[in-house]
Structure 1
Amino acid sequence: MMNSQGGYPTVSVVLSVKNGGRDLPQALGTILNQSFADFELIAIDNGSTDETGPYLDSITDPRVRVFHQTDAGLAGALNRGISLARGRYIARQDHDDLADPSRIAKQVQFLESHPEHALIGTRAEIWVGDKPSGRFHDHPTEDEILRFDLIFNNPFVHSSVMVRKSALDRVGVYTTDPARQPPEDYELWSRISRQYRVANLPERLTVYREVPSSMSRAGAQPFLQKLVTISSENLAYATGVAEPEQVHVDMAALVHGAEALVSPKPDVEGMCAVLAEAGHRIGGGQTKPELAQRVLHAQAQIRHRFMLRQQPGYGLVWRAARNIRGHLRRLIPAAL
């Protein structure tokens, strides 16, 4: 057991729950049965009206610290948990997701061995309810690829992540700005990746339960606006620009399908040049093959979405070709 902070635990697991229902005991059980025992679990009862509060109060494990409050939103609840944390590493856990027994041990080992990294996630198996879906969140593992992917999307499973407390002290905690959350996790990982290296473990150490409403707690259009805001900020930072310019907004809006936010005459070649510059900077001046492929794919996506927007006939031809390819894929295996 590691305990080098004058009696404080090495890890603080932070969980916010509102009306956890039947999933909560199983999720908590996967944390309390971790092979790494030097942790505290900070459970924030975020305005529950079911049996969540009494259940949490009934837990006798001394590592569990329970706090009750009115609903402060996910970001507000997690920030309270972080403010109460005594560990040097902050691990996330959701009330309905499951953790492999080795998850915390492997993440602590990684951060101890990689002092330049501030964030470590894991790959995840996707369940729908209590059943495996056969699908996975097999996100990239390497820092450069993750930092490029973060320009547009979130390559981390929220409930799989462990972060250095010292990094949060430096870059700040979850944003509560309505213009940037949700997705508060994507926004925070973006800020962390600007100052530190990030990674995912290659093992699937998390079971992520897919919920229809998990993509956005605020509706599709407000969520899109926030994605474009964060993504354009990421693009600006990746190319050394202090604030997003129209080219960055156009790129983010095109990728996320936010047509109303695209300018009347977007500069497609300028957007592709921005992507090349971002890849060059992220790669430290030496764009490795996998990163180069990411850049080329992103440029192709931008050009494709630009053509769909500018030339309706292109979209009809593209959809017809896609349907033909899909039909051929179904026919070929049947003929073998």
Structure 2
Amino acid sequence: MSFQRVPGRVSIIVTAYNRARYIRKCLDSLRKQSYNNIEIIIVNDASTDRTSQVIEAWRKSSGVALSRKRRVLEVKMPRNIGFPGAVTTGLFMARGEFIAIQDSDDLSHPKRLEKQVQFLRSHPEVGLVGTNYASFTNGAFNKQEQANWIKYGNDIRETYAAGGHCVCHGTIMFRGSIFDQIGGLTRRMEGAEDYEFIVKFLNNGIPINNIPEVLYYYRAHSLQRSRKYFGKEEDK
């Protein structure tokens, strides 16, 4: 029997490794979403700080876990398996018709999920949609800089065909049925797993696009994963 997905539900995958300092605000941005039919799947990748305690305190204070349409699940990994393994674990746990990604140190605009669901419903040929985003230095949210490397329409396929990158992984939403077909992230390309995941859609002939509106906020800080490999925000 094929996997039965919940119509209309958005499963949001949040992976966290030692993100006690940032994850509460990340989750608050998801709690404030205008789109109600969601489940938040937090994959705690064996954090050694207070990440789990912060998540539990947030659940109790926010009341999200008690809502019929806003469910929260924390998956505690017994050992650290790394970014691609944590994301893919969350993807296997997701029951929604749609799946969204959210980095645990970033924020989403209150209408992000609503607008992405609307886009996918009005463009049935598109399998994945990202958005534009604005970056901010930690502690200076009001001083934002809009990204200028995101591309749209046919330019996306051309960019990836030339070896470029133009979709921000933290902003994406895609159809759960496509994950059932092509699977999750690879471990073959350390530091570029998100890039390979986008390419997998294109190689399977699945159209993707971006919404030009800024619907995501990227926090620049010294401990972010992208600095380990690239030292710049475009490759997060």
Q: CA–CA distance in 2 between the matches of 1:85 and 1:6?
A: 9
SS at match of 1:111: helix
Query: Between Structure 1 and Structure 2, how many residues are aligned?
Result: 215
Alignment of 1:159-178 (within 5 A): 159-177=170-188
| Equivalent position of 1:197 in the other structure | 207
Q: TM-score, normalised by structure 1?
A: 0.60
Q: Which amino acid aligns with 2:19?
A: G
| Equivalent position of 1:14 in the other structure | 13
Q: Which amino acid aligns with 2:74?
A: V
Q: CA–CA distance in 2 between the matches of 1:68 and 1:10?
A: 23
Alignment of 1:226-245 (within 5 A): none
Q: Which has the higher helix share?
A: 1
CA RMSD of the aligned region, Å? 2.1
Q: CA–CA distance in 2 between the matches of 1:219 and 1:116?
A: 33
SS at match of 1:215: helix
Equivalent residue in structure 2 for 1:64, among 61, 72, 78 = 72
Please state how far the C-alpha of 1:214 moved relative to its aligned partner: 3.8
Q: Computing the radius of gyration over CA atoms, which structure comes out larger, 1 or 2?
A: 1
Q: CA–CA distance in 1 between the matches of 2:5 and 2:217?
A: 34
Q: Which amino acid aligns with 2:44?
A: D
Please state how far the C-alpha of 1:165 moved relative to its aligned partner: 1.3
Contact conserved, 1:139 with 1:200, CA < 8 A, in 2? no
| Equivalent position of 2:36 in the other structure | 37
2:95 paired with 1:96: no
Deviation per CA, 1:256-291, whole angstroms, max 9, x where unpaired?
xxxxxxxxxxxxxxxxxxxxxxxxxxxxxxxxxxxx
Deviation per CA, 1:101-137, whole angstroms, max 9, x where unpaired?
0000000010111111111111011111122554221
Identity %: 29
Alignment of 1:287-326 (within 5 A): none
Q: Which amino acid aligns with 2:43?
A: I
Deviation per CA, 1:274-325, whole angstroms, max 9, x where unpaired?
xxxxxxxxxxxxxxxxxxxxxxxxxxxxxxxxxxxxxxxxxxxxxxxxxxxx
Q: CA–CA distance in 2 between the matches of 1:19 and 1:6?
A: 31
| Equivalent position of 2:68 in the other structure | none
| Unaligned segments of structure 2, at least 5 residues | 66-70
Decide whether aligned partners of structure 1 residues 211 and 139 sit closer, same or farther in structure 2, where only a CA change above 3 A counts: same
Equivalent residue in structure 2 for 1:153, among 164, 168, 185 = 164
Q: CA–CA distance in 2 between the matches of 1:210 and 1:161?
A: 19
Q: Which amino acid aligns with 1:108?
A: V
Contact conserved, 1:17 with 1:44, CA < 8 A, in 2? yes
2:217 paired with 1:207: yes
SS at match of 2:114: helix
| Equivalent position of 2:132 in the other structure | 123
